[in-house]
Amino acid sequence: MSWQVWLGFLGAAWVISLSPGAGAIASMSAGLGHGLRRGYWNILGLQLGLLLQIAIVAAGVGALLASSAVAFTVVKWFGVAYLAYLGVRQWRSAPTEMNTDGAERVSGSGLAMTVRGFLVNASNPKAVVFMLAVLPQFLDPARPLAPQYAIIAATMVCVDVIVMTGYTGLAARVLTVMRSARQQRVVGRVFAGLFFAAAGFLSLVRRAVPV
């Protein structure tokens, strides 16, 4: 992969990561509920899900999702159900207890947050199909594909970690000023609404049918 092609992909990676989606909502929710430092567990899960998406495309399974109505529908509705589940959990979440120095009470295991982040990305067939359409444009079929996919994966993960850290940190800053139970409940339900909206948008996604 030449430097010119890589720079082009780097720009595309920023656009992809900055686009509001379920990963951004999950990152802000983690920052709101756990703060920036523990929010990195969620970011880790998101990156594992992202790597799985890239591996699926590299293995050619992405073409199956794009061409098989059954496979696409099964993955899509699993993603819809999981986002709706996160919305219900966010809606019902209790306000966070604050210490005298304004730090949030630590709760929730790192493993659970990692799994949650992983499932958010792994259950999104739209992202896989999108990558299937975008990534080949930056590949040179005359050269070995594995090193090129490795560069693409490393670039996307680095960019996404930066972006999701920003989303998580932004929400964590909100947590430090939302001290009353009523304020935290209102913000939590806003994020619950965002999860429900993401589930609704995903439910409307249709598999592209070849002409």
**Nearest of 93, 81, 72, 34 to residue 196 by alpha carbon:** 81
pLDDT (tens digit, 9 = 90+) per residue, 15-52? 778 776 788 888 888 888 788 888 899 999 999 999 99
Can you read off the two tokens belonging to residue 204?
Answer: 């409307």
d(C-alpha 64, C-alpha 85), whole Å: 27
Can you read off the two tokens belonging to residue 115?
Answer: 């799994």
A 10 A CB-CB count for 15 gives: 10
**Nearest of 206, 201, 207, 205 to residue 84 by alpha carbon:** 201
pLDDT (tens digit, 9 = 90+) per residue, 77-90? 776 787 777 778 77
pTM over 0.75: no
Can you read off the two tokens belonging to residue 138?
Answer: 């930056």
* Side-chain-facing half-sphere of 60: CA atoms under 13 Å: 1
pLDDT given at position 181: 66
